[in-house]
Chain A
Amino acid sequence: MKSFKEYIAYPYGIWMLVFIAVPLLVVVWFSFLSNPDFKMGEYVFTLENYQNFMDPLYLELLYRSFIYALIATLICFLISYPLASLIITLPEHRQNTMILLMILPMWVNFLLRTYAWMVLLSNNGIISNFLDFLGFTNIPLLYTQWAVILGMVYNFFPFMLLPIYTAMKKIDPDLLRAASDLGANRFQLFTKVKFPLSMPGIVSGSMMVFMPAVSTFVISNLLGGGKYMLIGNLIEQQFLTLNNWNFGSAISMVLMVLIFLVLGIARLITGKEIDTGGQVL
């Protein structure tokens, strides 16, 4: 007889089948079809969509999207790591308050927060007026590549902070004491014990920032003003405006495979399964 545990896993199995496996298979299927005569229902099997993507134009776009996402991930890390180290030194109840404050903005819809940045960064916005006051006039803020990266950092930074914080939380204080007893100075304590032990948090945080950043189309559209197209925008355009779902599916597949490769590399670095999100709260 099957245990109760096995039975309660069924809903998850069905969920994954219907909402993850089937849609993915449809995308794979679509990516290998084309509609050469533009007639409804007349599809042929082809590799054309993938061949079309091998255009230097699209490859450069892919490269650019990866660079933007990498920069955003790096900035998130540079902000989150010191912040998490600071929070961890606070008394327990203050730690919880700080973490709550960090995720509080996420209770507001992502689109609204991005629209709010459009107002803040606009030519007559607060930041621009403040810069004018300091004497730096006519610096465009909105519709620049830095606005796009800012949007990514702002929206995805809690995904970096939380895993790093939990990883640091898991470090046994006895290990640190033992290391100092054995003669490690503060620098060695950090490089030999603390940093390696927080590595799983860094890797999982980086993945959780990198993945949404590399595929976003809303941030680049709103804060970049359509000037800094990313791979996500190209996919969106194929589906919503150009009615080329087959090419859109092929681009999605390429992006997905590349993200899996990055995940694989990250797994090699830490030597174990990447724990994405389970440890967040």
Chain B
Amino acid sequence: MKRILVVFLLCIPLFLGGCAGDDRPVLSVYNWGDYIDPDLIAQFEDEFDCRVNYETFTSNEDLYVKLKNSTDTYDVLVPSDYMIERLINEDMLRPINKDNVPNLSIIEPQALNLPFDPENTYSVPYFYGVLGILYNPEMVSDPVDSWDILWNDKYASKILMYDSIRDSMGASLSRLGFSMNETSEANINAARDALIKQKPLVMAYVTDNVKNLMATDGAAMALVYSGDAAIVMDENNKLAFAVPKEGSNVYYDNFVIPNNSKNPELAESFINYMLTPEIAARNMEYVGFSAPNPQAISLMDDNWKNNTAFNIQVDDLARSEIFVDLPNNILELYNKAWTEVNVSK
């Protein structure tokens, strides 16, 4: 008995050494939910002898509120285009040292030098995609080629919308022939009224659980990001994806390093690591979103190359627009409009 106690006491420093003595550098990553293969984080920790502190958010707006109001600091963030523009304008990002990210050279040029960060001074592409409609052809008899289908009362209570201001408002604006970056109050209000009219047809306003609801046959169609559609279609091959003819939104979710990062060089290593073709390929197969990384895509299975939501068509991209960061007074109109949609019956 005594011996066991002695052994136990001797072990205590080992346990303490396990946590308190961990002086490996820490990398804090703040990313979207379901947006990385967790095995790759563990692998990065081993290879770079560091500890990754990983947290997730559900929308760009949530990320922004957290950054503004919290004392937590992060080293790598993955906001979308318009939010990157806002963070740059508010001087919250740190220029990336491209010498530490040599893999930037293998990235497809169409994802580089975009208006929200013209020289890619602050951001490195991670995933991109288009907003579109995921649908179940067994339940939808009409052709799915326009946003109008989301307003078709034949599918009442079988339509899923996305609980995000810019995306749901964007679809409504685009359907009415306006820009997804509309700034005229009258047009924003027209899009709002259309969403209020649509509300009785909507089954639910969802975020990440859109994947479950479509996979288990609950809903007939959903407004989704192409990457979410791709992963559901990979599991359930009777579903299909379409980008409406009116045009849509193309989004770029890029890595950025905030100004107050404590470990920017490790952050750059992490970004470079995630762009390595083998790693990026594994990550894409796990997440379902497309990376602008042709070398990585060439390593992937054929079923991915045939997945229409993964392999985004050039003409779908061509008629889609990137969200721009709207000025605060316009954003107020969007917020107010979206609240009115939420509150309405």
A143 and B7 CA atoms in complex are apart in Å by 57
A233 to B343, CA, bound (A): 10
Q: Complex: how many Å from CA A57 to CA B344?
A: 8
Say yes or no: A124-B163 contact (C-beta < 8 A), given A225-B205, A226-B204: no
Does A20 count as interface, using CB distance less than 8 angstroms? Answer: no
Most chain B CB inside 10 Å of its own CB: which residue of A124, A224, A241, A242:
A241
Q: Among B68, B163, B343, which residue has its beta carbon within 8 angstroms of that of A234? A: B343
Q: Kindly supply a per-residue 1/0 record for chain A positions 134-145, scoring 1 wherever the CB is within 8 Å of any chain B CB and 0 otherwise.
A: 000000101100
Majority SS at the chain A contact face? loop
A245 to B70, CA, bound (A): 13
A227 touches B328 (CB 8 A): no
Contact B218 A122 (CB under 8 A): yes
**Given A57-B343, A124-B216, A237-B342, A227 contacting B205 (CB threshold 8 A):** yes
Q: Are B343 and A227 in contact (CB under 8 A)?
A: no
Which residues does chain A contribute within 8 Å of B343, judged by CB atoms?
A: 57-58, 60-61, 229, 234
Does the CB pair B204–A143 fall under 8 Å? yes
Asked if A241 meets B206 with Cβ closer than 8 Å, knowing A122-B216, A124-B218, A140-B157, the reply is no
A243 interface contact, C-beta 8 A: yes
- Asked whether A242 and B206 contact (CB < 8 A) given A57-B340, A226-B163, A229-B343, the answer is no
C-alpha spacing A122/B218, complex, angstroms: 8
Q: Once the chains bind, are B328 and A242 in contact (CB under 8 Å)?
A: no
Q: B165 an interface residue at 8 Å Cβ cutoff?
A: yes
B163, B199, B204, B343: residue with the most chain A Cβ atoms closer than 10 Å: B343
Is the C-beta of B65 less than 8 angstroms from some C-beta in chain A? yes
Let me know if B53 is at the binding interface, CB within 8 A.
no
State A160–B340 Cα separation when bound (angstroms).
34
Within 8 A of A (CB), among B299-345: 328, 335, 339-340, 342-343
A140 to B213, CA, bound (A): 14
User: Would A225 and B204 count as touching, CB distance under 8 A?
Assistant: yes
Which of B65, B206, B217: most chain A CB closer than 10 A?
B65
Q: Is the interface of B mostly helix, strand, loop or mixed?
A: helix
A242 touching B61 in the complex, CB below 8 Å, given contacts A140-B157, A233-B342: yes
* B residues less than 8 Å from A143 (CB atoms): 203-204
Tell me the complex Cα distance, A40–B205, Å: 32
Tell me which of A227, A241, A242, A244 contacts B199 (CB under 8 A).
Answer: A227
* B202 on the A face (CB < 8 A): yes
B327 to chain A, nearest CB (A): 9
How many Å lie between the Cα of A226 and that of B209 in the bound state?
12
Q: List which A222-255 residues lie within 8 A (CB) of chain B.
A: 224-227, 229, 233-234, 237, 239-245
Q: How far is the CB of A127 from chain B (nearest CB, A)?
A: 14
Residues of chain A within 8 A (CB-CB) of B65 are 239-241, 243
Contacts of B163 in A (CB 8 A): 226
Query: Are B218 and A123 within 8 A (Cβ)?
Result: yes
Interface residue? A38 (CB, 8 A): yes
Q: How distant is B83 from chain A, measured CB to nearest CB, in Å?
A: 12
Chain A residue, CB-CB nearest to B156: A140
B189 interface residue, CB < 8 Å from A? no
Residue of B nearest to A244 (CB): B335
Interface status of B64 (Cβ within 8 A of chain A): yes
Q: Which of A123, A224, A233, A243 contacts B217 (CB 8 A)?
A: A123
* Structural contact, B157 and A243, CB atoms closer than 8 A: no
Q: Report B151-188 residues with CB < 8 Å from chain A CB.
A: 157, 163, 165
Which residues of chain A (172-205) have a CB below 8 Å from chain B?
Answer: none
Tell me, in angstroms, the Cα distance from A142 to B212 when the chains sit together: 14
Instruction: Identify which of residues 63-108 in chain B touch chain A, using a CB-to-CB cut-off of 8 Å.
Output: 64-65, 68-69
When C-beta atoms are compared, the residue in chain B nearest to A231 turns out to be B343
Report B339 CB to chain A, min CB distance, Å: 7
Interface centre among A122, A140, A226 (most CB of B within 10 A): A226
- A57 contact set on B, CB distance < 8 A: 339-340, 343
Which single residue of chain B is at the shortest CB-CB distance from A57?
Answer: B343
CB of B339 within 8 A of CB of A237, answer yes
Chain A neighbourhood of B64, CB < 8 A:
243
CA distance A225 to B218 in the complex (A): 13
- How many Å from the CB of B31 to the closest CB on chain A? 17
The distance in angstroms between the C-alpha atoms of A122 and B219, with both chains bound, is: 11
A181 to B332 Cα, complex, angstroms: 71
Chain A residues contacting B340 (CB-CB under 8 Å) are 57
Taken together as a complex, chains A and B put the C-alpha atoms of A60 and B345 apart, in Å, by 10
For the complex, what is the distance from the CA of A243 to the CA of B65, rounded to whole Å?
A: 6
Q: A242, B335: Cβ atoms under 8 Å?
A: yes
Residues of B within 8 A of A122 (CB): 216, 218
A-B pairs, top 6 by smallest CB distance, nearest first, are A225-B204, A226-B205, A38-B328, A143-B204, A229-B342, A123-B218
A-B contact pairs, 30 of them (CB 8 A): A38-B328, A40-B68, A57-B343, A60-B343, A61-B343, A122-B218, A123-B218, A124-B216, A124-B217, A142-B204, A143-B203, A225-B203, A225-B206, A226-B205, A226-B206, A226-B342, A227-B199, A229-B343, A234-B343, A237-B339, A237-B342, A240-B62, A241-B59, A241-B61, A241-B62, A242-B335, A242-B339, A243-B61, A243-B65, A243-B68
A residues sitting closer than 8 Å to B (CB atoms) are 38, 40, 57-58, 60-61, 122-124, 140, 142-143, 224-227, 229, 233-234, 237, 239-245
